[in-house]
A and B are shown apart, each in its own frame.
Chain A
Amino acid sequence: MAKLLVENVSVAFPLYHGESRSLKKTVFAAASGRMGQDAKHRLTVEALRNVSFTLNTGDRLGFIGSNGAGKTTLLRTMAGIYEPAAGRMVIDGAVTALLDPGQGMNFELTGNENIRMRALFNGYTDAQIKILQEDVAQFSELGDFLSLPVRTYSSGMIVRLGFALATAIHPQILLMDEWILAGDAAFLGKARERLETMVGSAEILVLSSHNAAILMQWCNRLIWMDAGRVHADGTPEEILSAYLPPDQFKQAKMAAEHAMRAA
């Protein structure tokens, strides 16, 4: 059983631009006794404010909201990358966060070396590393390219490697940003099936997307983020009908139902 509890979480980014970041300013401020004032008046961007919700096995949560509403920051916080400035989280389950296409890959290393790195990060045994390597090689169809540095790949090949690697590992709690839904058309049909298998085997899914049809199709709960706060929390239909203009909502609904029937 997986569980994810987010309780009154707030995240603020300090702005260290140019001067305020330098040692010079801090030293001079300390010397002239203005250190405390400086610390208090430090500019921050409040990315998340008092966000709370609980997810249990079976929950498929979507985030919606305008750019800068805090969706990606919330995903990164739930992944444990940014530790909150206030509040707490309880994460019970193995988590994978698919936040950006690079996924911490080193482009100087070869494809195979990057796969190995990911496996070691997950603490895999040699046998598991072999399974992962074969799985990624087979799905990405990169063949001999896997023994070349990733920087020599075309952008399409990088997406294929990133996608194959990301979807080879099946977490209990899956946090996804929408980049993973983008890809070249030829690859997309094959990718979709694999993505759905991974999403299906995850106990909790959290997805951030602007695509209303996908959100309706995949999620059973939506949170509308606005200026770092939870603006509304409910079923996809409730939230989307309030969030989208009526004609777009109707369109998205039809698209989702069409996709459902096709599947």
Chain B
Amino acid sequence: MKAAVEAAARFGYRQHMNMLAPDSGQAEAGLLRPARPSPQPVIIAASHCWRDRAAAAVQDLRESLRLWPLVWTLSLFDIRLRYRGSLLGPFWLTLSTAVMIGAIGFVYSRLFHQDVAAYLPFLAISLVLWNFINVITAEGATCFSTSADMIRAQRMAHTVHPARVVVRNLLVLAHNLAVIVVVFLIYPSHLTWSVLSEVPALALWVLDAFAAALLLGMVGARYRDVPPIVASIMQIAFYITPIMWSPAMLVHRGLGLSVALIDMNPFFGLLQIVRGPLLGLPVDVSAWINALCASAVLVVAAFLLFVRARPRIPYWV
């Protein structure tokens, strides 16, 4: 109150005119206060120093973690909205995946002269995983531009948007797991202890998905041609990566093809570390090396670009 009087005196303004001066007598209790990120003052400065920018980027990530309930609810509502008013709801996800895998599985096992019992589990896992990768890149590339209203309405951690894409698609993945479970019940696989490597493999997938959505989201917000380019690259990647066909089918071909499509293909590494153990194969060290190298490049690139571009995102969307 004192400050208000001082301010009024400073500007030579009649006190009674300022009818809406802060009312210090008003009890704090009962009033809903907005979020305050930290008890310290927030400093927003235009800085070209990498250290300041990196600190701001890390702060953004930390803020997203704090907003975890918001990310979760946004993702849940996204799924619910997509199927609002439909009879089966999100189980359409499960059903359409089941129909696709069933149809392709039986046709292609004939085409490729494969045994259905071996081919169908392989195909089910591959397609479900690829679907996740594909949607992460497609939705990631537009994660900031589709949230333009939210970004312009209030200051919010920017990493909330790619995190929302990842969590939403993890929920979709969870629905699709039902199909894999059913396929495995029909055509059981001989699981070994290597299945324990699924835990770090899935953790790596979540990290990579977040980094990919963040990276593509920033580039896609700045350059609007990027989302369709990403979509067509992923289309090509789908055909040249062992998803519909297994690496074993390449055995009779030249070594060059196998090196290019398998050893040098980051998608193969990522798929194999999750797919292999589920099919009863031992831990594939070369696939892990491939996946870890690709992930390191992706995560570092995403972080560096985020450090650089974070303040510009609201100007781009």
Cα-based distance from A164 to B46 in the complex (angstroms): 35
Task: Identify the A interface with B (CB < 8 A).
Answer: 1, 3, 10, 13-14, 16, 21-24, 26, 56-60, 76, 79-97, 99-100, 102-104, 106, 108-109, 113, 116-117, 120-124, 128, 131-132, 135, 149, 168-172, 196, 199-203, 205, 216-221, 234-237, 256, 260, 263
The answer to whether B70 and A102 touch across the interface, beta carbons within 8 angstroms, is no
B44 adjacent to chain A (CB < 8 Å): yes
B90 close to A (CB within 8 Å): no
Closest to A6 in B: B44
Q: For the complex formed, measure the closest distance between the CB of A254 and the CB atoms of chain B, giving whole angstroms.
A: 13
- On whether the beta carbons of B36 and A104 are closer than 8 Å, the reply is no
A-B pairs with lowest CB-CB distance, top 8:
A104-B153, A58-B4, A88-B45, A80-B155, A92-B41, A83-B311, A58-B3, A120-B70
The CA-CA distance from A108 to B81 in the complex, in Å, is 7
In the complex, residue of chain B having the shortest beta-carbon distance to the beta carbon of A2: B22
Please report which residues of chain B, range 51-70, place their CB below 8 angstroms from some CB of chain A when the two chains form the complex: 66-67, 69-70
Q: Is the CB of A13 within 8 A of B315?
A: yes
Interface residues of B (CB under 8 A from A): 1, 3-8, 11-13, 16-23, 26, 31-36, 41-46, 66-67, 69-70, 73-74, 77, 81, 84, 149-156, 222-226, 229, 311, 314-316
Q: With A14-B315, A104-B149, A220-B13 given, is the CB distance from A117 to B32 under 8 Å?
A: no
What is the bound-complex CA distance between A201 and B43, given in angstroms?
24
Whether A263 contacts B19 in the complex (CB less than 8 A), given A23-B226, A88-B44, comes out as: yes
Q: Shortest beta-carbon distance, A144 to chain B, in Å?
A: 17
Q: A23-B229, A237-B13 are in contact. Are A221 and B7 (CB under 8 A)?
A: yes
Given contacts A80-B42, A171-B34, A202-B22, 15 further A-B contacts (CB under 8 A): A23-B229, A84-B46, A92-B41, A94-B35, A99-B152, A104-B153, A113-B77, A117-B73, A121-B156, A123-B66, A123-B67, A169-B34, A200-B21, A235-B12, A260-B17
**B156 engages A87 (CB within 8 Å):** no
The minimal Cβ–Cβ distance linking B163 to chain A, given in whole angstroms, is 13
In whole angstroms, how far apart are the Cα atoms of A117 and B67 in the complex? 11
Chosen A-B contacts, 17 in total, with CB atoms closer than 8 Å, are: A57-B22, A58-B5, A60-B21, A84-B46, A87-B45, A90-B41, A91-B43, A94-B36, A109-B81, A121-B67, A121-B156, A123-B35, A168-B32, A169-B32, A170-B31, A217-B20, A220-B11
- The docked-state distance in angstroms from the alpha carbon of A93 to that of B3 is 16
B106 to chain A, nearest CB (A): 38
CB < 8 Å: which of B8, B20, B33, B316 contacts A170? B33
Chain B residues positioned under 8 Å from A87 (CB to CB): 45-46
Interface contact A84-B44, CB-CB below 8 Å: yes
List, in ascending order, chain B residues with CB within 8 A of A23's CB: 223, 225-226, 229
Contact yes or no, A57 B3, CB < 8 A: yes
**How far is A109 from B75 in the complex, measured between Cα atoms in Å?**
12
Beta-carbon nearest neighbor of A5 in chain B: B41
- Which of B4, B16, B69, B316 contacts A57, CB < 8 Å? B4
Inter-chain contact B32/A234, CB cutoff 8 Å: no
Q: Is the CB of B44 within 8 A of A83?
A: yes
Which residues of chain A are near B36, meaning CB under 8 Å? 93-94
